[in-house]
């Protein structure tokens, strides 16, 4: 006779033991710290628990720390398999309970290591990242080189066209003006000195004077077409010389604003043709400030930064009419012209102006286009001293 209310209760927790590890068909012991080969595909862990009462009713819970997020529970299963484990330090833990549900919470553990292959190591990943960064840097340098070549080719073409126009103007227009002036002078000398010829002689003198002025303006225009003057000195020296020249002309009219050029950062040599373009844009802006702004102060700020060349021209004059600034005023081609020139050279040109307050013009050129490349192989340095204090000229 059996009383169901008084069945025997198994109070002994089963002892647990990890027997072995089998990695890709090779058997390893159960000692801690086993170092398995890299790139293990199939891993089997054998474990067991001793229960003489009802071994088929033993429950197991196991967990591979570093792989399994939580415990897994099985019944009478004494083997677990894993595939393609990544390189890491692992700890296998297993606990068991007997037929009465009494658990051995301490269980058994086994520590083992799967080392990384050479292409799974941190140094290899760092090398790949460095190689990728190097490729990006090389692509960036190639792109900059292509941009510089296109920019230089475009500037060379424009300089050649200006030189051709300068030669044609010199050989045709100026020579024609000289011939006309000689003819006017000869005609004037042929007139007899009589009172009734005074008006004619006066008109001839005025025509001769106008021709001389036209020849002078033509020579100035030809000189401006040639880039030689903008490549012999620094940009600050060129703008200072131009400011003094314009100030001298303004003094004849009784009003000449103060003018100064500020230089910030360490001066660096500019690309020959780009300096000529920057000089022409600056000259047009400064000339407009002298002639139309009615300003008391005109200031030019040149900043040599590591990533760009920045040029600011500001005055405290009467400002620019918004219609002219927008480029919609017929007959005003100065601002559209310098905008087109800045766009062709790959720079950015911005205007800030308010009526009665003044005007500020900012021109920024990327360093890759602005600065002349050094050819001594020391362009890049690990450490560089920050730009010096601003200089004033």
pLDDT of 261-293, one tens digit each?
Answer: 999 999 888 887 788 888 889 988 998 888 888
Residue 275 belongs to a domain: yes
Residue 32 belongs to a domain: yes
Say if residues 265 and 392 touch (Cβ distance below 8 Å): no
CATH number of the domain encompassing residue 322: 3.30.565.10
Beta bridge partners of 35: 113
Q: State whether 134 and 67 are in the same domain.
A: no
Q: Is the pLDDT higher at 117 or at 204? A: 117
Q: State whether 78 and 153 are in the same domain.
A: no
The region that residue 281 occupies, defined by phi over 0 for left and psi between -120 and 50 for alpha, beta otherwise, is alpha
Domain end point (choices 80, 98, 116): 116
Averaged pLDDT for residues 246-252 = 74
Burial degree of 56 (CB within 10 A; 0-12, 13-18, 19+) = exposed
Across 67-71, 243-247, 333-337, least confident range: 333-337
Q: State whether 351 and 271 are in the same domain.
A: yes
Measure the CA–CA gap between 218 and 205, rounded to whole angstroms: 20
Q: State whether 265 and 368 are in the same domain.
A: yes
Q: Is the pLDDT higher at 205 or at 311? A: 311
Is residue 326 very low, low, confident or very high in pLDDT (cuts 50, 70, 90)?
Answer: confident
Q: Is the pLDDT higher at 269 or at 188? A: 269
Distance of CA 374 to the CA centre of its chain: 19
Q: State whether 254 and 356 are in the same domain.
A: yes
Averaged pLDDT for residues 311-337 = 77
Q: Collapsing DSSP states into helix, strand and coil, what is residue 9? A: coil
Residue 379 belongs to a domain: no
Say if residues 220 and 213 touch (Cβ distance below 8 Å): no
Number of domains in the chain: 3
Could you report the per-residue pLDDT of 77-135, keeping only the tens digit for each? 899 999 999 999 999 999 999 888 889 999 999 999 999 998 888 899 999 999 999 99
Contacts of 21 (CB under 8 A, 6+ apart): 27, 28, 29, 30, 34, 36, 43, 44, 45, 46, 110, 112
Residue-wise DSSP of 55-94: GGG-EEEEEEETT-SS-EEEES--EEEEESPPSEEEEEEE
Domain end point (choices 225, 245, 279): 225
Q: State whether 101 and 141 are in the same domain.
A: no
Q: State whether 237 and 221 are in the same domain.
A: no
The domain in which residue 320 lies consists of 233-374+385-393
Predicted confidence at residue 31, as pLDDT, reads 86
Could you report the per-residue pLDDT of 47-56, keeping only the tens digit for each? 999 887 778 8
Predicted confidence at residue 377, as pLDDT, reads 43
Q: State whether 273 and 144 are in the same domain.
A: no
Domain end point (choices 168, 195, 225): 225
Q: State whether 250 and 330 are in the same domain.
A: yes
How is residue 379 written in tokens? 């362009």
Could you tell me the pTM of the whole model?
0.48
Which helix (H) or strand (E) segment holds residue 299: the answer is strand 297-304
Q: Is the pLDDT higher at 33 or at 327? A: 33
Q: State whether 262 and 356 are in the same domain.
A: yes
Residue 380 belongs to a domain: no
């Amino acid at each position: 006779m059996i009383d169901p209310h008084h069945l025997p209760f198994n109070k002994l927790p089963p002892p647990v033991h990890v027997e072995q590890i089998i990695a890709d068909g090779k058997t390893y012991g159960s000692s801690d710290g086993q170092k398995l080969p890299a790139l293990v595909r199939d891993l089997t862990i054998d474990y067991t628990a001793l229960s003489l009462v009802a071994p088929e009713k033993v429950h197991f819970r196991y967990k591979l720390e570093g792989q399994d997020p939580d415990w897994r529970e099985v019944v009478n299963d004494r083997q677990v398999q894993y595939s393609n484990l990544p390189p890491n330090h692992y700890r296998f833990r297993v606990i068991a309970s007997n037929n009465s549900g009494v658990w051995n919470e301490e269980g058994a553990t086994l520590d083992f290591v799967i080392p990384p292959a050479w292409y799974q190591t941190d140094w290899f990943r760092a090398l790949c990242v460095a190689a990728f960064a190097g490729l990006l840097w090389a692509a960036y340098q190639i792109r900059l080189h292509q941009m510089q070549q296109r920019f230089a080719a475009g500037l060379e073409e424009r300089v050649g066209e200006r030189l051709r126009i300068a030669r044609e103007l010199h050989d045709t227009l100026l020579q024609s003006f000289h011939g006309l002036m000689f003819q006017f002078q000869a005609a004037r000398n042929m007139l007899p000195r009589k009172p009734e010829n005074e008006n004619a002689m006066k008109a001839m003198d005025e025509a001769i004077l106008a021709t001389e002025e036209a020849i002078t303006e033509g020579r100035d225009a030809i000189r401006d077409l040639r880039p030689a003057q903008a490549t012999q000195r620094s940009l600050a020296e060129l703008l200072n010389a131009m400011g003094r020249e314009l100030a001298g002309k303004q003094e004849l009219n009784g009003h000449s604003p103060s003018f100064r050029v500020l230089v910030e950062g360490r001066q660096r040599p500019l690309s020959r043709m780009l300096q000529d373009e920057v000089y022409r844009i600056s000259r047009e802006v400064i000339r407009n400030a002298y002639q139309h702004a009615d300003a008391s102060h005109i200031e030019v700020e040149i900043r040599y930064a590591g990533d760009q060349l920045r040029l600011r021209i500001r005055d405290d004059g009467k400002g620019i009419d918004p219609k002219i600034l927008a480029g919609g005023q017929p007959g005003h081609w100065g601002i559209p012209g310098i905008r087109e020139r800045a766009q062709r050279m790959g720079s950015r040109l911005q205007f800030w102006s308010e009526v009665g307050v003044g005007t500020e013009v900012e021109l920024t050129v990327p360093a890759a286009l602005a600065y002349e490349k050094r050819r001594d192989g020391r362009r890049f340095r690990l450490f560089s001293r920050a730009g010096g204090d601003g200089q004033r000229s």
